Amino acid sequence: MEKKWWHKKTAYQIYPKSFYDSNGDGIGDIQGIIQKLDYLKELGVDILWLSPVYLSPCADQGYDIADYYRIDPQFGTMEDMDQLLEEAKKREMHILMDLVVNHCSDEHEWFKKACQDPQGEYGKYFYIEEKKDGKLPCNWRSYFGGNVWEPIPGTDKYYLHLFHKKQPDLNWENPKVREEVYKMVNWWLDKGLAGFRIDAIINIKKPLPFKDYPADREDGLCDMGQVLADARGIGQFLGEMRDTCFLPHGAFTVGEVFNVRKEEIRDFIGEQGYFSSMFDFSQTVEGKSAKGWYASQIPSPDDYKRCCFESQKTAQGIGYLSNIIENHDEPRGVSHYLPPEGRQEKGKKLLAAMYFMLKGLPFIYQGQELGMENSVYQSIEDIDDVGSKDEYRRCLEMGCSEKEALDIVGHYTRDNARTPFQWSCEENGGFTKGKPWLNLNPNYKTINAESQVGKEDSIYSFYQKLIRLRKNPQWQETIVYGETVPILEKEENLMAYYRKGEGQTILVLGNFSGDEKNVNLAQLDWSRAQILLSNDQLEEREKGRVTLQPWQCAVIGISQ
């Protein structure tokens, strides 16, 4: 594999609205990020991905962009953004922005012009259609519920939106749209961005002409997964964007790629791939049902392990994945992948070590380094997210009681990741001096940065050690490039793998249960082994056996 500067780094996702509020309006902002750069530097992360801060009416929390060249006043100004780029540079940190170009906002001037004159130039920037024989062009279901067509007032026309109705899809088939997008991407890269996280990108290629697919619910609509499986030719667009924007700038890009065909992974992240990397979402989609959250299953530790190993195998020899346990669209990883008894400090460190030591670029989502958990909700009114409200309706429709529906939605809702960052045990977790835009998780009094930074055995310090280990020249090559070789795969609640390097091997062990676990490692020569990191004492290392304590993990370095 050709070595790249970013392989050795650790990345961190900031959700600006909930990170740190510098001016007391209850909303996190760019100045807030600048004030916390030293906190992030101290943690050890190098690449920062910012969820969108562009001008936006915020129908989908900034993923609906009204002007790609402006910063939304709630987050600050372009001067603030320039200052952030400068301050990050001083600290040898790299900034990624979110590239949201499957759609824009209905308040973008392109869309306003399209509505004024659907037949005109800007009408062609979107997918605008009429009914035929009283029927909409297709029966696709929006990701946020309902059909994907919305009438343009005062006309007999409809526009396509795969997400919220305030997020009209851009027509990538139109070369003018692509030209506008590339111009904007280059403008930002010229400013000094290191690159982009690329939003919802698989959706830019629609199977055309529009047609119906078999309905999979009583609403007569069909899931987008089915539709996208039928789309071909996205490579033309993505290859063009790579050649026009990313390659000339040496940009780092990480794709949010769902629904990719296995045989196309090389096209996406191989040596000549469209992107530098893409997220591994195999665990996040595990157990999710196309029918909705009411029919979804929370993955077990063994499911989690199987997903991780499958992805490692798929990517081996092809490209470099980006690994996560959560992001702004998902429940908190510790609340999702750990069984309830495991959701304590030891279990959280275990999960951290298991994903962090996999091959790939580790991303930490804000608050993950503190062990932040899913929040609690008294009623559906406490939940802000658009998609979650639709899932709640769906649960009720399918016969759940209100309490059951709230439990299910409370587990999966994206709000779990969006509650404000817990800086301290002060009011509002030290996030704001005003009224926070979204309620804090009430556990901020016990889980917060202030109580963990500088404390030897905290979760924060454990993440710090994982990052330091990744940077330790003695083990770095193996951690960054070593092949992942799963072992003892059939052992329940045990996740164990080697990372095979040149002249050295790293063994990663994790006990996902509340019982001791004896692990047989007859072939291991303990005289050559050293414990690089663990969340407990590792005992009885004799005759090739070790006993892992409940929820214990250990990273063991073995030189040959």
180 binds, among Ca ion, ligand TEU, none (CB under 5 to 8 A by kind): none
Size of the site for ligand TEU (CB under 6 A): 11
For residue 256, state whether it binds Ca ion (rule: CB under 5 A).
no
For residue 21, state whether it binds Ca ion (rule: CB under 5 A).
yes
Residue 237: count of CB within 10 angstroms of its CB: 19
337 binds, among ligand TEU, Ca ion, none (CB under 5 to 8 A by kind): none
Pick one of 21, 29, 46, 60: the residue that binds ligand TEU (CB under 6 A). 60
Q: Contact letters (x/-) for Ca ion, 27-66, by CB under 5 A?
A: x-x-------------------------------------
DSSP character for 318?
T
Question: Which residues partner with 157 through β-bridges?
Answer: 130
Query: What is the C-alpha separation between 165 and 144, in angstroms, rounded?
Result: 9
For residue 15, state whether it binds ligand TEU (rule: CB under 6 A).
no
* Strand bridging mode 320-323 / 277-279: parallel
Using alpha carbons, list the distances in angstroms from residue 194 to 34, 48, 63, 245, 278: 17, 9, 20, 12, 16
136 binds, among Ca ion, ligand TEU, none (CB under 5 to 8 A by kind): none
Task: Write out the catalytic residue numbers.
Answer: 199, 256
Picking from 303, 306, 324, 311, the residue whose alpha carbon sits closest to that of residue 262 is: 311
Rg, the chain, Cα only: 24
Closest separation in Å from C-beta 27 to Ca ion: 4
21 binds, among ligand TEU, Ca ion, none (CB under 5 to 8 A by kind): Ca ion
For residue 143, state whether it binds ligand TEU (rule: CB under 6 A).
yes
For residue 391, state whether it binds Ca ion (rule: CB under 5 A).
no
The CA-CA-CA angle for residues 495, 499, 504, to 5°, reads: 135
Residue 286 or 373: the one with the smaller Cβ distance to ligand TEU is: 286
Closest separation in Å from C-beta 190 to ligand TEU: 24
Q: Which residue sits closest to Ca ion, CB atoms considered?
A: 29
Closest separation in Å from C-beta 218 to ligand TEU: 21
In the numeric block, which tokens belong to residue 99?
Answer: 């590239």
**In sequence order, which residues have a C-beta less than 8 Å from that of residue 341 and are 6 or more positions away?**
347, 514
Question: Which residues within the stretch 297-356 sit at the binding site for ligand TEU (CB under 6 A)?
Answer: 328-329
Pick one of 1, 3, 23, 341: the residue that binds Ca ion (CB under 5 A). 23
Using alpha carbons, list the distances in angstroms from residue 467 to 44, 369, 536: 6, 11, 19
Query: What is the C-alpha separation between 205 and 187, in angstroms, rounded?
Result: 24
182 binds, among ligand TEU, Ca ion, none (CB under 5 to 8 A by kind): none
In the numeric block, which tokens belong to residue 31?
Answer: 């100045």
Q: Which stretch binds Ca ion (CB under 5 A): 23-31, 303-311, 473-481, 515-523?
A: 23-31
Which phi and psi (to 5°) does residue 359 adopt? Answer: -70, 135
27 binds, among ligand TEU, Ca ion, none (CB under 5 to 8 A by kind): Ca ion
In the numeric block, which tokens belong to residue 485?
Answer: 């070789």
Residue 290 or 487: the one with the smaller Cβ distance to ligand TEU is: 290
Closest separation in Å from C-beta 22 to Ca ion: 6
275 binds, among Ca ion, ligand TEU, none (CB under 5 to 8 A by kind): none
Using alpha carbons, list the distances in angstroms from residue 401 to 383, 390, 404, 411: 17, 15, 5, 15
For residue 80, state whether it binds ligand TEU (rule: CB under 6 A).
no
In the numeric block, which tokens belong to residue 163?
Answer: 């997400």
Residue 247: count of CB within 10 angstroms of its CB: 11
Signed CA dihedral, 182, 184, 187, 192: sign only: negative
For residue 223, state whether it binds ligand TEU (rule: CB under 6 A).
no
Closest separation in Å from C-beta 17 to Ca ion: 9
Using alpha carbons, list the distances in angstroms from residue 440 to 27, 293, 420, 426, 432: 12, 24, 6, 12, 11
Picking from 452, 54, 416, 47, the residue whose alpha carbon sits closest to that of residue 253 is: 47
Tokens 């070369």 — which residue?
175
For residue 63, state whether it binds ligand TEU (rule: CB under 6 A).
yes
For residue 200, state whether it binds ligand TEU (rule: CB under 6 A).
yes
For residue 163, state whether it binds ligand TEU (rule: CB under 6 A).
yes
Query: What is the C-alpha separation between 454 and 450, in angstroms, rounded?
Result: 9
Size of the site for Ca ion (CB under 5 A): 5
CA atoms within 13 A on the CB side of 505: 16
353 binds, among Ca ion, ligand TEU, none (CB under 5 to 8 A by kind): none
Pick one of 4, 7, 8, 25: the residue that binds Ca ion (CB under 5 A). 25
Question: Which residues within the stretch 98-117 sit at the binding site for ligand TEU (CB under 6 A)?
Answer: 100
Chain residues in the site for ligand TEU (CB under 6 A)? 60, 63, 100, 143, 163, 199-200, 256, 258, 328-329
By the criterion CB under 5 A, which residues form the site for Ca ion?
21, 23, 25, 27, 29
